[in-house]
Amino acid sequence: MLQDVETLSVLIVAASVGEFEAGISKNGQTREHALLAYTLGVKQLIVGVNKMDSTEPPYSQKRHEVIVKEVSTSIHKIGYNPDTAAFVPISGWNGDNMLEPSANMPWFKGWKVTCEDGNTSRTTPLEALGCILPPTCSTDKPLRLPL
């Protein structure tokens, strides 16, 4: 059921005013899910900042920067290195920045990461998934089965 859970976690954060604040609050689900992922041993994190179409103004760069700062602080306290997490502004409703860069967010230039293909700039969650490092399996250890 939880096979290879240590590989990756995708944390979706709502950018809407009120929703984000509720999720990142002391007992919010955003913090809870990030802590749960870390507790389960997840090493790699992609943060999708969703509902960018419902920010004020729509697709606000300033709102994205505030969310990145707050979530970075939160995941750093949990144990993640925010510099290795990919923060991607998206709109699931409109499909903005999901599979290809969006014209509605020309300010988002992506993040720097070195992947196996040598590319160092990524802009969408799909591209972020292409840079995930596969888990290392210890074939010299005894077989372990969860009950």
Going residue by residue through the chain (147 aa), what tens digit of pLDDT does each one get?
A: 344 456 789 999 999 999 999 999 999 999 999 999 999 888 889 999 999 999 999 999 999 999 999 999 999 999 999 988 889 999 999 999 999 999 999 999 988 776 666 667 788 888 888 777 777 777 788 877 777
Q: Looking at residue 73, what is its pLDDT?
A: 96
Q: Looking at residue 118, what is its pLDDT?
A: 66
Is the pTM for the entire model greater than 0.75? yes
Do 90 and 105 meet the contact criterion of CB atoms below 8 Å apart?
no
Strands of the sheet containing 44-50, edge to edge, are 8-14, 44-50, 86-89
Q: Looking at residue 8, what is its pLDDT?
A: 87
How many residues are present in the chain? 147
Delineate the domains of the chain, giving CATH numbers in brackets. 8-129 (3.40.50.300)
Contacts (Cβ under 8 Å, ≥6 apart) of 56: 17, 63
